[in-house]
Amino acid sequence: MAEEVFENFEKQIKSKACLAKFAADQIIPFVTLCHQKCEFTVQEITKHLKTNIWVVEKFIKGKFTIDEENKKITWSGYKI
């Protein structure tokens, strides 16, 4: 178990991403509180992340952009 944890930690560090794959989908609702452009990189773009973005966009006026190549998520922001 410890070896698996270390390997995952090592992958995260080497990716130089802002968020681990398990944290990326969790931050999406909070990012929408930002009323301006917001960008962050993720270790991996998971189906869970894409699904959470899809759901949140159904409730919030704003748009996320997923850059698969650079593993970057961009929130366009919105005005009230």
Active site residues: 48
Burial 22-56 (b: 16+ CB within 10 A, else e): eebbebbeebbeeeeebeeebbbbeeebeebbeeb
